[in-house]
Amino acid sequence: MRAEALAALLTLLGACARPPTVTATPWSWSLPVGWPAPVVPDDDPMTVEKVALGRLLFFDQRLSQNQTTACATCHDPARAYTDGRTTALGSTGQLHRRNTQSLANVAYASSLTWANGQQTVLAHQALVPLLGDTPVELGWQGHQTELFARLSDDEAYARRFGAVFGTEGVTLDTLTRALAAFERTLISGTSPWDRFVAGDLSALSDAAKRGHELFTSDAVGCSHCHAGFAFTDAVVAVGVQAVQAFHNTGLYDVDGHGAYPEGDQGELEITNHAIDMGCFKAPGLRNLRFTAPYLHDGSAATLAELIDTYSAGGRVFQHLGHPSLLQSPLVRPLGLDAGQKADLLAFLDALNDEDFVAAQTSP
C-alpha cells in the first residue's frame, strides 16, 4: 500500500517535472532584394518563438531592477531605436558617456557598440546594459537571482521560456539569446533609396540622385566608410567576410597630437594602439531623421551642421585650419558649395525608412 502510494506520488512528480515541449518554428527572413542573409550562430538558430520572447523582453521595464527602464526606453522604435538624448540615461539616473546607437540592421554589425572590436556577439553585448555598472543601465549587477526569479515567477514568461529553451529555464544565457534573436529581425531596407535600388527610378528626387553621385564620388568619398547596403564598412553577413573598421574623423585634438578627450578615446581603449585614438565605427546612415543628435557623443545636433563639418575637413580642420595627426586622410576639406550640401542632405533624407519606424512600436 505504501509502495503504491509512493509510486503514485512519483508518477505525479514525474508529470509535473516533465520537460516543457519545445516549439521551434524556423524563422524565415524577408530581406530587401540583393541583401545577404545575416549570420546566425549555428548552435542558436532563429525561431519564431525565440524572436517573440525576445521582443517581449526588449519592451519590458521589468528588465531593469527598479522596473523603470526597458531596452526600448533607450532604443525606442519610434526614434529608429534611439532615445533623442545627447547621451543615454540609465535606470538609476546615471549618464552614459555615449549616444544611443540605432539598432537598425544590427544583425550585420561586425562589431558592436561605437568602438569595441572585441564585442562581436549580440547575446554577449546584451550583458552590458543588464549588468554594467559604469554607468548603471538596467541595474542587475549583484541582483541576478532576483532577475531570474522575477521572470520565472511570471507564468507567461515561465511558459514561453519553457517552450523556447526547454529545461534551461531563465538564465543570462537564454535571456540574452532571446534578445539577440529579436534584435536580428530589426531589418531596415524599405527607404526611398531601397525602392530606387529595387528598380523604382521615381523613388529618388533629382537632388537625391545628385547627392548619391557626390556621396560615392572619389572627390567626396563618403562611401569609403559608409559603404554598401548597410552604409557602413563594419559589416558581416553570410558569404561576406567580416570587416572590422574604425575611423578617426577629426572631431577632437586636445593635445596637438590628435588626442580625443580623456573620457572617450574610441577603439584605443580596447587595443591600446596609438593609431586607434579617436577611432569609432561608421554608423549605418538609415533613419537619420529620427535619430538626432549624432556622433558617438551626441555632439552634432543637426545633419546640416555635420555636412558643414565634413566639408571643412573635420572639426579640427574647421577650428585649427589643419588636420589632426591621426584623422583619416579621407576626411579632408571638400569645399562643398551650398547646392552640393543640399544634394547630400537630400540623399541622406532618402535613407529614411518610415515603414521600419512605424512597424515596431510595441511588443
Positions touching ligand HEC (CB under 6 A) are 69, 71, 73-75, 88-90, 96, 98, 100-101, 103, 106, 109, 112-114, 122, 125-126, 129-130, 137-138, 179, 183, 220-222, 224-226, 247, 249, 251, 280, 282-283, 285, 288, 291, 294-296, 303, 306, 310, 328, 330-331, 344
How open is the CA angle 105-111-115, to the nearest 5 degrees?
Answer: 115
CB 336 within 8 A of CB 307: yes
CB 88 within 8 A of CB 95: yes
Q: How far is the CB of 275 from ligand HEC (least distance, A)?
A: 14
CA distance 350 to 286: 9
Q: How far is the CB of 330 from ligand HEC (least distance, A)?
A: 4
Q: How far is the CB of 47 from ligand HEC (least distance, A)?
A: 18
CA distance 278 to 269: 9
Give the residues across from 247 on adjacent strands: 280
Q: 103 or 204, CB closer to ligand HEC?
A: 103
Q: 49 or 184, CB closer to ligand HEC?
A: 184
Q: 162 or 283, CB closer to ligand HEC?
A: 283
Q: How far is the CB of 81 from ligand HEC (least distance, A)?
A: 8
Q: How far is the CB of 74 from ligand HEC (least distance, A)?
A: 3
DSSP 231: T
31 φ, ψ (degrees, to nearest 5) = -105, 150
Q: How far is the CB of 167 from ligand HEC (least distance, A)?
A: 24
Q: 22 or 141, CB closer to ligand HEC?
A: 141
Environment class of residue 4 by beta-carbon count within 10 Å: exposed (0-12), middle (13-18) or buried (19+)? exposed
Q: How far is the CB of 185 from ligand HEC (least distance, A)?
A: 13
Q: How far is the CB of 73 from ligand HEC (least distance, A)?
A: 6
Whole-Å CA distances, 84 to 100, 128, 266: 8, 21, 22
Nine-digit cell string for 121: 556577439
In 3D, which of 316, 317, 319, 288 has the Cα closest to residue 304?
A: 288
Q: 69 or 188, CB closer to ligand HEC?
A: 69
Environment class of residue 343 by beta-carbon count within 10 Å: exposed (0-12), middle (13-18) or buried (19+)? buried
Q: How far is the CB of 75 from ligand HEC (least distance, A)?
A: 6
Nine-digit cell string for 346: 537630400
Q: 22 or 342, CB closer to ligand HEC?
A: 342
Q: 200 or 354, CB closer to ligand HEC?
A: 354
Q: 140 or 165, CB closer to ligand HEC?
A: 140
Read off the amino acid at residue 256: G
Cβ atoms within 10 Å, residue 84: 14
What are the helix and strand counts (H, E) for the chain? Answer: 15, 0
Find the Cα–Cα–Cα–Cα dihedral 96, 99, 103, 107, rounded to 10°. -80
Q: 15 or 301, CB closer to ligand HEC?
A: 301
